[in-house]
Amino acid sequence: VALPAGVLTQEVNRVLEDPAIEIVVELVGGTTVAKEFILRALRAGKAVVTANKALLAKFGGELFAAAEKGGADLYYEASVGGGIPIIKALREGLAANRFHAIIGILNGTCNYILTRMEQEGAPFAEVLKAAQAAGYAEANPALDVDGIDTAHKATILASLAFGEWFRLEQMHVEGIREVALQDIQYAATLGYRIKLLAIIREAGGQVQLRVHPALIPARSLLGTVDGVFNAVLVNGEPVGTTLYYGRGAGRDATASAVVADILDVGRNLAGGSRRRIPAFRHHRAFQDVLPASEIRSRYYLRFQVQDRPGVLALIAGVFGQHSISIASVTQKEAAAPSVPIVILTHEAREADMQAALAELRGFEEVTEKPVLLRIEELP
C-alpha cells in the first residue's frame, strides 16, 4: 500500500483533532495515554477500535459511557483471543443464548510454558527462561504467568455474557508459577492435562469468576490445545456447547481482528447505523458473584508424607470430618523416608478443602505444604 505523503504522523493531535478522521485505532497499549486518546476520540464522536484488554478491564465503564455520550462506536474484538472472533460470537452469533459457562485458555504464554513443561519434562523456571529467549514471554512475565492477563480477558467475556461490567477484584486469580512438573506428570498418568483456565460459570443466579490452573481431560478439545494457541468453550442455552480456537496473540492474529472491527465500523458509518451494536449493554443476568470459598469442585491433591503406617488413614479421616470424599489414591512404593500421595476427590466446597489442608499441615506426618489443584468438569 502506497500512502500519500503526510498521512503518517507521530502527532496524535493531528488525528484526534481532524474532523475528517472518523475511525481511530488504538494499539498503544497500557492504561495511561491509551485511555486519554480513546476518551478524546469518543468524545469527538469518532469510532474507536482497540485491542487493549487491560484498559477495558480496568476502565470499561468509563469508556462505554463516553462512547454512548459521543454517539460513537467502540469495538474491541482483538482484546480477547487474538484472531478468534469470540467477541462477535458472544454478542452476535450467540445472541439468542443465555450463557451458563465460558471456559477459556486465554494466555498463549502460559499455555506455551505448560505445554513445553509436559513435552520436555522441564521445570517451570527453565521453560520460562527458554520462552523469554524465544520471545514467547516478556522480560517481566508477571502479567502473563500470574494470571493477570487472563483475568483481564475473562473480565471482558464475563461482562458480555452476564451484562454487568465486572471488576478485576471480583476475580479469584492464581497463576502458573507454582505448577510443578511432577504434578503435570501425575496428571498425565491419570488422563488429565493442566491448563491455566479462565472459568466463568453461572448457576442459580450466582456467577463464578476465577482464573487458575486446573486439570481437564487430556482427550477433551480444550485438553488438546497446545502451545501459544487459545481456545474458548462457550456453553449456552439453547446452543449447548460450542468452542472457538485460534492464535491468541501476535501481530497477524491481532491484525485480523482489528481489520474486521474496522470493516464493521465502516459499514456502520456507511450505512448510517452507528452504534448498531452498543459497546456494552447492561442486562444483569445474574444475582451475585459467588465467593471463591463457596465454589464446589473436584480436587487433585499431592501430599508429601512420612512413609509409615496410618498416614493415609490420617488424611482420609481429616477429609471425612470436612465432608470431603476421596475418589482415588495413587501411592507408589518408594525407598525414601518421605513419599508422595496423590489424591483425587469427589466434589467438595473450597472452604472445606482449605480447612482440611490447614489442619493436615499441623501434623508432622505431612512433611511439605500440600499441592492443591482443581479438576474442572467441562460442559
Q: Which residues bind a copy of itself (CB under 8 A)?
A: 77, 83-85, 88-89, 92-97, 219-221, 224-225, 231, 236-247, 252-253, 255-260, 263-264, 267-268, 271-273, 276-277
To a copy of itself, the closest distance from the beta carbon of 33 in angstroms equals 26
Residue 284 in grid coordinates: 444483569
User: Hey, which bits of 248-337 come out as E strands?
Assistant: 288-289, 296-306, 326-331
Active site residue 369: no
Residue 237 carries which side chain, given as an amino acid letter? Answer: E
To a copy of itself, the closest distance from the beta carbon of 91 in angstroms equals 10
Q: Which is nearer to a copy of itself, 190 or 269 (CB)?
A: 269
Burial 273-292 (b: 16+ CB within 10 A, else e): eeeebebbeeeeebeebbeb
User: Hey, which bits of the chain come out as E strands?
Assistant: 23-26, 47-50, 74-75, 98-105, 172-173, 192-203, 206-217, 229-237, 240-247, 288-289, 296-306, 326-331, 338-345, 348-349, 371-375
Q: Which is nearer to a copy of itself, 199 or 260 (CB)?
A: 260
Q: Which is nearer to a copy of itself, 24 or 348 (CB)?
A: 24
How far, in Å, CA of 189 to CA of 331, rounded?
A: 13
CA 21 to chain centre: 35
To a copy of itself, the closest distance from the beta carbon of 151 in angstroms equals 24
To a copy of itself, the closest distance from the beta carbon of 348 in angstroms equals 29
- Max Cα-Cα span within the chain: 82
Q: Which is nearer to a copy of itself, 45 or 217 (CB)?
A: 217
Residue 261 in grid coordinates: 472491527
To a copy of itself, the closest distance from the beta carbon of 31 in angstroms equals 26
Q: Which is nearer to a copy of itself, 244 or 299 (CB)?
A: 244
**Which candidate in 35, 88, 153, 195 is catalytic?**
153
Q: Hey, which residues are catalytic here?
A: 153
